Amino acid sequence: MSLTPEAEDLLRAHAPRVLAALTRRYGNFDLAEDAVQEALIAAAAQWPEQGVPGNPPGWLTTVATRRLTDLLRGEQARRRREEREAATLFPTGPASADDDTLELLFLCCHPALNPPAQVALTLRAVGGLTTAEIARALLLPETTLSQRITRAKKRVQDAGARFPLPDDGERGRRLDVVLHVLYLVFNEGYTASSGDDLRRGDLCVEAIRLVRMVHRLLPGVPETGGLLALLLLTDARRAARTGPGGELIPLAEQDRALWDRAAIGEGLALLEEVLARRRPGPYQLQAAVAALHAEAARFEDTDWAQIVALYEVLDRLEANPMVTLNRAVAVAMLRGPAAGLALLEEVAGDERMAGHHRLPAVRAHLLERAGERAAAAAEYREAARRTTSRPEQRYLATRAARLDRHPG
Amino acid sequence: MKYMIMTFGDSAAWDTLGLGDRAAGWSEEQVAEHFRAMAAFYDELAASGEMVTGFGLADPSHTMTVEIRDGRPVASDGPYAEAKEVLAGFGIIDVASRERAVELAGRFAALVGARVELRPVMDGSGQEM
């Protein structure tokens, strides 16, 4: 027997609160995390047979505390020191369950960790996923992932004991990191969903769940709403973006009837709400582009003038060759492929683009539209050589072969 | 992002360690120290969660070739490469950046005393096309 989806949601919702409460009380994030993980495993084993307890967070706290006591007893010498440190790590005082969850998220996205460690720790401590689940989703052996998490927890423990809790300015910067980590989690899962890779799609669901939570807890930050809208609007296309064999289908050729209208509706409403606060940021602008695609009934109906304008603002906000590339695609749709190709020359010399497959891929696409089939095929092949993504390589190579077979 | 680190050697490299057909070129202490240093490097990467997997390869004389002839797979011994360099070992690492991959490959090259090759591994994720 396994848990019902409702019971699983319940577990995942309570896990970070229980962990934060234990960390606050015992001061040892590292061992508290192990204890909560074991309580979750116990729940997954017992709840299906014995039923969901009347007070799920109480049940989890009791089981996790019992386990944590055992773990701490094993290292009593360290315990006193850790309890003293706890006072500086987590100041006492009443805190709501929501504050606890946020605190935990800030902890997992600690700047002392590199992004892969932040992603792994966030998924386990805040997302309540098991090590095995995360390892499968990130295509890593379980031992590799479990070492990464162990190491990350120790680092957080060490760094957290030395530094004071973030002040308001630090919280703002830390929120940027949190949003970026959740964005990475989403990207990690946003993949051609075929065969064994299917599970990676779960990461998108998890990223959306966590961003939704942050947005609920800190509703005053427009960029959080912007990111949530961006993820919802992007994920809405998931069923349409791969073919039956797992091959990528470009936006222009997607069957828009397959787009998830409910997710689009929620994303559009959310975006409208945050844009009204007139504090635009990169996530809101990208969401606005996604919204224009979502609102076009057919590819031909896309409002390219607006998209070009949005990319211009985005490029001014944070100059980035990737944004310029996207702008070139939109400019080509609005004013023809020659205009897009001219814009590409601006980024061709950029060091950050050296060796990247996106530049030849976009150039190939524009050359194909301009009728330069031989040149387009050569650029598609160049892009296929450069990419490290299997689905993209397949798409690009297929595209090149199509042009070779039917030259000009 | 995942990278494969590959080390190369001629068959004399296996001989140096006493793993080839002839007597070892290194002293027992040198061989022991080499294995100790390699093990320490592997342990460090395993502890940091950056080691996905890694193996040294057996002496190239064990190599087999498998090819399709008349639509059927046929296995034969060899090639017994005259080639100066054959693949001697590989490791797959998962690191935060290209810079980190280069740094680790550099340390690996120093350990084995030879150049190593670093190649990105293809993965299953892709951007919106």
Instruction: Give pLDDT, residue A286.
Output: 96
**Residue B116: φ, ψ to 5°:** -125, 160
**Residue B8: φ, ψ to 5°:** -125, 155
CB B48 within 8 A of CB B41: no
CA distance A52 to chain B (A): 35
CA distance A392 to chain B (A): 6
Say what percent of chain A tops pLDDT 70: 88
CB A143 within 8 A of CB A151: no
Among the partner residues B46, B96, B120, nearest to A116 by beta-carbon distance? B96
Instruction: Give pLDDT, residue B117.
Output: 95
Cα within 13 Å of Cα(A93), Cβ side: 5
Q: Which of A23-32, A39-48, A315-324 has the lowest mean pLDDT?
A: A23-32
pLDDT band at A100 (very low <50, low <70, confident <90, very high): confident
Is the torsion defined by CA of B92, B94, B95, B96 positive or negative?
positive
- Span A73-95, average pLDDT: 51
The SS3 of residue A19 is helix
CB A292 within 8 A of CB A269: no
Instruction: Give pLDDT, residue B17.
Output: 64
Cα within 13 Å of Cα(A105), Cβ side: 27
Q: What single-letter DSSP state applies at residue A191?
A: B
For A127-164, write each residue's pLDDT tens digit. Answer: 888 888 888 888 889 999 999 999 999 888 887 644 44
Encode A13-27: b = buried (16+ Cβ within 10 Å), e = exposed.
bbbbbbbbbbbbbbb
- Span A52-59, average pLDDT: 86
The reply to whether residue B129 touches residue A251, judged by beta carbons under 8 angstroms, is yes
pLDDT, mean over chain A:
85
Instruction: Give pLDDT, residue A87.
Output: 40
User: Given a cut of 90, is residue A372 above it in pLDDT?
Assistant: yes
User: Given a cut of 50, is residue A389 above it in pLDDT?
Assistant: yes
Cα within 13 Å of Cα(B68), Cβ side: 1
For A272-283, write each residue's pLDDT tens digit. Answer: 999 999 999 999
- Span A295-304, average pLDDT: 96
Among the partner residues B97, B121, B128, nearest to A251 by beta-carbon distance? B128
Strand partners, B119: B4
Instruction: Give pLDDT, residue A26.
Output: 79
- Span A257-270, average pLDDT: 97
Q: Which of A142-156, A251-265, A333-347 has the lowest mean pLDDT?
A: A142-156
CA A76 centroid distance within chain: 39
User: Given a cut of 90, is residue A369 above it in pLDDT?
Assistant: yes
pLDDT band at A90 (very low <50, low <70, confident <90, very high): very low
Instruction: For chain A, count helices (H), then strands (E).
Output: 19, 0
CA distance A247 to A245: 6
User: Given a cut of 80, is residue A176 above it in pLDDT?
Assistant: yes
| Residues in A touching B129 (Cβ below 8 Å) | 248-251, 361, 392, 395
Among the partner residues A141, A200, A389, nearest to B52 by beta-carbon distance? A141
Q: What share of chain B is helix, strand, coil (3-state, %, to 5)?
A: 35, 35, 35
The reply to whether residue B122 touches residue A148, judged by beta carbons under 8 angstroms, is no
The reply to whether residue A188 touches residue B50, judged by beta carbons under 8 angstroms, is no
Q: ipTM above 0.85?
A: no
CA distance A269 to A229: 8
CB A134 within 8 A of CB A120: yes
Q: Which of A100-109, A297-306, B97-106, B112-121 has the lowest mean pLDDT?
A: A100-109
CB A68 within 8 A of CB A29: no
The reply to whether residue B129 touches residue A147, judged by beta carbons under 8 angstroms, is no
Instruction: Give pLDDT, residue B123.
Output: 79
Instruction: Give pLDDT, residue A332.
Output: 96
pLDDT band at A335 (very low <50, low <70, confident <90, very high): very high
The reply to whether residue A190 touches residue B125, judged by beta carbons under 8 angstroms, is yes
Query: How would you class A316 by CB atoms within 10 Å of its CB: exposed for 0-12, middle for 13-18, buried for 19 or more?
Result: exposed
The reply to whether residue A148 touches residue B123, judged by beta carbons under 8 angstroms, is no
Query: How would you class A235 by CB atoms within 10 Å of its CB: exposed for 0-12, middle for 13-18, buried for 19 or more?
Result: buried
The reply to whether residue B124 touches residue A187, judged by beta carbons under 8 angstroms, is no
The reply to whether residue A388 touches residue B52, judged by beta carbons under 8 angstroms, is no
Instruction: Give pLDDT, residue A91.
Output: 41
User: Given a cut of 90, is residue A54 above it in pLDDT?
Assistant: no
CB A18 within 8 A of CB A38: no
User: Given a cut of 60, is residue A41 above it in pLDDT?
Assistant: yes
Tell me which residues of chain B, numbers 11 to 50, contact chain A at a CB-CB cutoff of 8 Å.
46-50
CA distance A224 to chain B (A): 22
Encode A48-76: b = buried (16+ Cβ within 10 Å), e = exposed.
eeeebeeebbebbbebbbebbeebbeeee
Instruction: Give pLDDT, residue A200.
Output: 66
pLDDT band at A184 (very low <50, low <70, confident <90, very high): confident
**Residuewise pLDDT in 10s, chain B (129 residues):** 899 999 887 766 666 666 655 556 677 888 888 888 988 999 999 989 999 998 888 888 888 999 999 999 999 988 876 667 788 889 999 999 999 999 999 999 998 888 899 999 987 766 654
Instruction: Give pLDDT, residue A163.
Output: 41
What's the whole-model pTM score? 0.82
